Amino acid sequence: MTITGSKCTATLTPQRAAKRVVLAGRFALGANVADHFRKLGWEVHTVNADHDVHATAAETDPHAVLLPENAGEESGYLACVKLRQTLPDLKVVVVGAERTAGREKFAEFVGAKFVTEADGVGRFVTAMS
């Protein structure tokens, strides 16, 4: 809001109706996670190709992205670094096969949270919320 003399001008920033999440890759729990977020009122965008996650994130301005630890040519950790350079407030979750202290530390180092398929839908949701 700007006040000049007796004039007052306000500029409002439009609010998004719903939070958005991008699910990249294929996960055994992917459909359950997507359904859960839809029930919470989130927009869910799914992409299968590695390179599509960056384009989809740029187009949709998501609140969170779920990435596989190993996906084709680019690891989930590298994708996280790239995504967070353009969207610094983005929450990123890396999904790996096995939980180790090293994987969790590396995920934290690149600005992500780490989960495994065995953690279940609740853990995915907690990590992305």
Residue 6 has pLDDT above 60, yes or no: no
C-alpha dihedral (59, 126, 107, 28), degrees to nearest 10: -80
Tell me the pLDDT tens digit for each residue of 19-78: 899 999 887 888 888 999 999 899 999 998 656 888 999 999 999 999 999 877 789 999
Query: What pLDDT sits at residue 44?
Result: 94
> Rounded distance, CA 42 to CA 35, Å?
10
Tell me the pLDDT tens digit for each residue of 83-123: 999 999 999 999 998 999 999 999 999 999 999 988 988 88
Q: List the structure tokens of 79.
A: 């994708």
Question: Which residues are within 8 A (CB) of 91 and not within 5 positions of it... i.e. 6 or more apart?
Answer: 63, 64, 65, 113, 127, 128
Residue 8 has pLDDT above 50, yes or no: no
Query: What pLDDT sits at residue 49?
Result: 66
For 95, other C-beta atoms within 10 Å of its C-beta total 29
Residue 128 has pLDDT above 90, yes or no: no
